[in-house]
Structure 1
Amino acid sequence: MATQKELLRRRASRVRRSIKAVANGRPRLSVHRSSKNIYAQIIDDAAGRTLAAASTLDVGLRGDLKTGADIAAAAAVGKLVAERAKEAGVTDVVFDRGAFIYHGRIKALAESAREGGLNF
Structure 2
Amino acid sequence: MASSSSLAPLSFSLSSELLPSHKPNSLSWSSSFPQLRISASSIPCPSNLSFHKKFVVEAAWTRRSRSEAAKKPNRKSWKQRTDMYLRPFLLNVFFSKRFIHAKVMHRGTSKVISVATTNSRDLRNTLPSLTDNDAARVIGKLIAERSKEADVYAIAYEPGKNERIEGRLGIILDTIQQNGIIFV
Q: In the alignment, what sits opposite 2:123?
A: 61
**Contact 1:91 1:117 (8 Å CA) reproduced:** yes
Contact 2:90 2:104 in 1 (8 A): yes
Aligned residue runs from structure 1 range 11-22, under 5 A: 21=83
Residues 1:116 and 2:179 aligned together: yes
Deviations 1:68-116 (A, max 9, x none): 1111101100000110000011000001344642111101111111112
Residue 147 of structure 2, aligned match among 52, 75, 85 = 85
AA aligned opposite 2:157: F
The aligned counterpart of 1:49 is: 111
2:177 and 2:85 map into 1 onto residues whose CA distance is 17
SS in 2 for 1:86: helix
What is the count of residue pairs matched by the alignment? 103
Alignment partner, residue 94 of structure 2:
32
Alignment gaps of 5+ in structure 2? 1-78
Distance 2:97 2:106 in 1: 27
Find the residue that maps to 2:154 and give its secondary structure.
coil
The offset of 1:61, in angstroms, is: 1.8
Paired with 2:138 and 2:181, the residues of 1 have a C-alpha distance of 14
- Fraction of identical pairs, as percent: 27
- Highest RCO, 1 vs 2 (Cα 8 Å, sep ≥ 6): 1
Instruction: Give the Cα–Cα distance (whole angstroms) in 1 for the partners of residues 160 and 97 of structure 2.
Output: 15
* Distance change in 2, residues 1:102/1:25 (3 Å): closer
Structural RMSD (CA): 2.1
Q: What is the TM-score when the length of structure 2 is the normalising length?
A: 0.51
CA distance in 2, matches of 1:51, 1:29: 10
> In structure 2, the residue corresponding to 1:95 is in which secondary structure?
coil
1:17-56 per-position Cα deviation (integer Å, ceiling 9, x unaligned)? 98x8487133011111112111110000101111111011
The one-letter code of the counterpart of 1:102 is I
Whose radius of gyration is greater, 1 or 2? Answer: 2
Indicate conservation of the 8 Å contact 2:155/2:181, yes or no.
yes
Contact 2:114 2:147 in 1 (8 A): yes
Q: Structure 1 residues 97, 62: CA separation in 2 closer, same or farther (over 3 Å shift)?
A: farther
State the alpha-carbon separation in 2 of the partners of residues 67 and 49 from structure 1.
30
- In the superposition, relative to structure 1, how do residues 50 and 106 fare at CA in structure 2: closer, same or farther (>3 Å)? same
Query: Normalising to structure 1: TM-score of the pair?
Result: 0.76
Q: Secondary structure at the match of 2:97?
A: coil
